[in-house]
Amino acid sequence: MSVLTRIFAVLAVTLSPVSAQDLTPAATVALDARNSGKPTTAQKWMISTANPIAAQIGADILRQGGTAADAMVAVQATLGLLEPQSSGLGGGAFLVWYDGATGKVTTLDGRETAPLAATPTLFQDENGEPLKFFDAVVGGRSVGTPGTPMLMAQAHKKWGNQPWPDLLAPAKSLAADGFTVSPRMAESVSADLERLSRFPATAAYFLPKGTAIKSGDTLKNQPYAETLSALQSGGPTAFYTGKIAQNIVATVHTAAGNPGVLSLVDLAIYKVKTRAPVCVNYRGFDVCGMGPPSSGALTVGQILKLIEPFDIAALGPENPETWRIIGDASRLAFADRGRYMADSDFVPVPTKGLIDPKYLATRSALLRTDKALEKPTAGDPSFDHSFNWADDESIELPSTSHFSIVDSYGNALSMTTTVENRFGSRLMSGGFILNNEMTDFSFRTNTDGKPIANALAPGKRPRSSMSPTIVLKDDKPVLVIGSPGGSRIIGFTAQTIIAHLDWGMDIQAAIDMPRMVNRWGKYELEATGTTEKFQAPLESMGYKVEIKPINSGLHGIAIGDTLTGGADPRREGIAIGE
C-alpha cells in the first residue's frame, strides 16, 4: 500500500482543487491526511464529500449544531455549482438515513421519473432499432423529471433543525460572487467541448467567448443564485411550478435537433418516495441500502452473501483466488440484476427472493471451483408474482457524486446524487444542468418477445446502480459509504466494505486500494502499477483482463470509539470532523 499511497499523493497534489487561502485550517489538515493515506479522526461529527469547499460548508453547518440533513442541503446546493458535471438541482438522488434517536433506517427515493408523454420506443429509430447512446443523451429527449430539490426539502423537513434559507445561502453567495474553477471541473469541460458547445446557454457558461474555462478561473453563475433565491423564499414549490419549471420545460422542448417531452404537469406531480431499506446480514453486520428502483443494495448484498461462505479474511487481498471468488460473485449478482431489477412500482421485483439465504447458498455453491465461471446466467429466485423477463440492455456511464455525513446527534446520512452522464443532457436552465437519466432505461422493450423489466414507461423511474450504504452492528451504524461510477458503483462499494470488514483496513486505506471490478466477464484492474501482478493469474483462471484508469469517488465514515473519515484521492474531496 505504500507504493499506492505515494502514487495517490502525487495525484492529489496534481489535482489540488483550490488555493491554500480557500481552505480553513481544518480543511488543510484533512487534505494533508488524505494525501498521506491517513483517515481524518474526530469525536463529535464528520463529513466526507467530493469537493473541499462543499465539505467546509457542510462542516460549518454541523459545527453550528445542524443535523446531517441540514448539512446535506448545503452540500448538495454547493456541489451543483462546483461540480455540475456530476450532480445538481436538475438531477436525482438516493438517500439512506440512520436516525440516532429511534435507531431506524429510512431511505428516500429522489430518482427522476419518465415524463407522462414518454413512449416505450422513445429511444428507438424509425426501424425500431436502439439509438446510438449519445444521439439519445444530448438534448431534451433524455431529460427526466428532476428529484433532487424535492429530496433536499423533504429530508430537511423530516430531520433538519436549521432554517432552510440559511442552508442555501453559502452556495448562493458563491454563485453570485464567484468561485474558483477546480481542475476536475475544467478537465470535464475540456473533454466534452463539442457536446457542450451545441446549446447557447451551456456554451456561454462553460465556453465564454468560445474558450473553455480553465482551472483557477473565477466563474460566476447569477442564474443559479437566482434559482437558489427562489428556493429560499418558496421552497420546492418554487422549483416545480412557476418560472423555474416553465424555463426547464421550454429548454427541453426547444433543444435543437433532439427535443424532449417533459411537461409542467410532470414537474407539478413529482413526489419523493419513502421506501423500506434493503438489508442483508454479512458476518454479523447489517448492510443496508437503497432498494428498487436502485439495484445497489440488492446487488451489493448478493455479492457479500455469495462470498460469505468463503474465508475471504484468511485469503487476503493479495491472493488471486480472492478476486476469482469476488469477481464471479459479482457476475452472478449482475446476471440477476440484468434480469429482475427495475422500478418495483411498475414491475414485480423478487426483492425477498433475491436475498433469500437458501437461494444465495445455491448460487454461492457455483463458486466452489478454481476457474472462472463460463457464462453466469440469472438464477430462479422465488417471486411474489411470476413473470418471464428478458435481460436488460441499458447503458450506464460514470459520473455522479457521493457524500457521507455523521452529526453530533448520532444521525448518519449516505447520499449518492447524479445527473447521470457527465454534464447530463448538456442542457442548462436556471444555472444548473438538466439530467439525461432517461437513458438509464433499456432502449429495447423486449428480446424475442420477452419484456425487459427496465423498459421505459410513463412515470417510471429508471433502474440505477447508486449504492448509498449504511452498515450496522447491533443496530448501531459502523460504516457510511458510497461512490459514483456508473454500474461500477456496485463493485466499488462492495470492495470497500470487504476491505474494511474482512481485511481490517481503516476507511482511508479501504478507499485508496486499487479498484478491481468484474461485472459481465472482463476483469477491469485499475492502472496503478500495483495491479499488473494479478493479470496472469486471473487470465490463467479464464478471465479476460483489462488494465485501465478507473475513477471511483468513494467517500466514507467509519464509526467506533472515534469517527474516522476517508475521501477518494481520485477526486478532489476531503473528510472534515471535530
Please identify every residue annotated as catalytic.
400
Q: State the Cα–Cα distance between residues 399 and 175, nearest whole angstrom.
A: 22
Torsion of CA 253, 255, 260, 264, to 10 degrees: -30
- Helix pair 296-307, 320-340: axis angle to 10 deg: 140
Buried b (16+ CB within 10 A) or exposed e, 47-74: bbbbbbbbbbbbbbbbeeebbbbbbbbb
Strand order of the sheet with strand 412-418? 273-275, 105-110, 92-98, 412-418, 401-406, 46-49, 574-577
Q: For cell 457521493, name the residue.
A: 402
Residue 520 DSSP symbol = S
Q: State the Cα–Cα distance between residues 137 and 394, nearest whole angstrom.
A: 13
Integer angstrom CA distances of residue 578 from 56, 246, 355, 575 = 12, 43, 38, 10
Residue type at position 235: G
Phi-psi region of 430 (alpha: psi -120 to 50; beta: other; left: phi over 0): left
Q: State the Cα–Cα distance between residues 89 and 77, nearest whole angstrom.
A: 7
Q: For cell 464471479, name the residue.
A: 328
